[in-house]
Amino acid sequence: MKMDRVQNGTLNVEQVRADFPVLQREVRPGVPLVYLDSAATSQKPLEVIQAMDAYYRSSNANIHRGIHTLAEEATYLYEEARSKVAAFIGAASPKQVIYTRNCTEAINLVAYTWGRKFLQAGDVIILTEMEHHANLVPWQILAEERGVQLEFIPVTADGMLDLEAYKKLLEKEPKLVAFAHMSNVLGTINPAKEIIRLAHQAGALALVDAAQSVPHMPVNVQDLDADFLAFSAHKMCGPTGIGALYGRKEILEAMPVFMGGGDMIKKVHLRSFTPNELPYKFEAGTPAIAEAVGFGAAVDYLKKIGIEAIGAHEHQIVAYALERLEEVPGLKVLGPSADNRGGVVAFSFGVAHPHDISQILDSEGIAIRAGHHCAMPLHDKFHLAATARASFYLYNTHQEVDRLVEGLYKVREIFGS
């Protein structure tokens, strides 16, 4: 695959697009799909679809419990996928990778287990003003329940984190710093390694919401020195319904169980139980087995393409998009320059509401996102109720950016912006 899809470090995008069946469809007769909503969920290559189909056709069984052929095959596929995911993020051991439903559940797992065991009234958690609700609401619940204090790293006018303000907040001796590696609205790529280094220097643990970074750039948990890192399969060419939490082994072992039931136990008596070893102590009940198989296939696909090549391609696309969008009168892009940005561009456009923008673009076959993107406080920061958002991935082209701009001129014509 790598030979025909990557040449001299550059993606052959037409070859890549051929791997994704949905990209071949027309939204309406004569109107081909332009999919610019990968920050919400990515499309799936045929390899992932076929891997899940093959599992259901030939190896479907419950895992860990049976000793018959199908159960052993299913268990092997499930655990092989975990090993692939662990290697993809540079984890020292697959036992440090917990399967969850998504990035949201992964963060909630930390809040409900580590947070409730180790935090008490008055303890400080540092977040940022650009967080997705998934890395905000779980800590708000904990703050209300336990009296934990939340502090926030400010976002500057150009969409960057104010690191000097962060250093001041660290004087409060926080127990945890939790932050997005890349903003799903601003596209800002935060200096994760430096944020974590400073957190550790202050005696805090660090949790990274990597939902928007793992699919698009090299992420190595050991190089970052992260204590926790959470992400989802569906944003990285994998299926919905499965994600992962990475954690340091000694921290995960010290945490209480998340949910009770089958497979998360070693022994159960009428009045007590003994939890299972890692990672199974956090994986109660029958898991998303087919989805894990798809997760592993997605990792295989991204590795064959090359995450560095994917990141380089997205950088070119977003730089071109920022250049073209600047031409459109009345359009205002949020966030930093292309040098500090991933493949996300959120914008406001005169009097046109983002929902109207999205609907008009959809009539042209162009799929974007409209709303607050599960980041209402960040929109409040910029005095906006909502934005329109185009997001890019390995299968997007310069021509699709041109179609986006053409569609926005149609919006301008309709609204007289």
Catalytic-residue membership of 374: yes
Which secondary-structure segment (H or E) carries 180? strand 176-180
Q: Which own/partner contact pairs does 165-170 have at CB distance under 8 Å and 24+ positions apart?
A: 166/126, 166/195, 166/198, 167/198, 169/126, 170/126, 170/198, 170/199, 170/201, 170/202, 170/204
Tokens of 71: 């159960």
Q: Say whether 274 sits in a helix, a strand or coil.
A: strand
159, 335 contact by CB (below 8 A): yes
Could you give phi then psi for residue 46, rounded to 5 degrees? Answer: -55, -35
DSSP H helices in 122-206: 137-146, 163-169, 192-201
**How many helices (DSSP H) and strands (DSSP E) are in the chain?**
16, 19
How many other CB atoms are found less than 10 A from the CB of residue 212? Answer: 28
Q: What is the DSSP string of 345-364?
A: EEEEETTB-HHHHHHHHHHT
Q: Say whether 146 sits in a helix, a strand or coil.
A: helix
127, 154 contact by CB (below 8 A): no
Q: Check residue 371 and give left, alpha or beta (phi > 0: left; psi -120 to 50: alpha).
A: left
Amino acid at 51: A
Query: What are the DSSP E strand ranges found in 18-137?
Result: 26-28, 31-32, 34-35, 97-100, 124-128
Catalytic residue, candidates 374, 376, 384, 405: 374
Tell me which residues are annotated as active site: 374
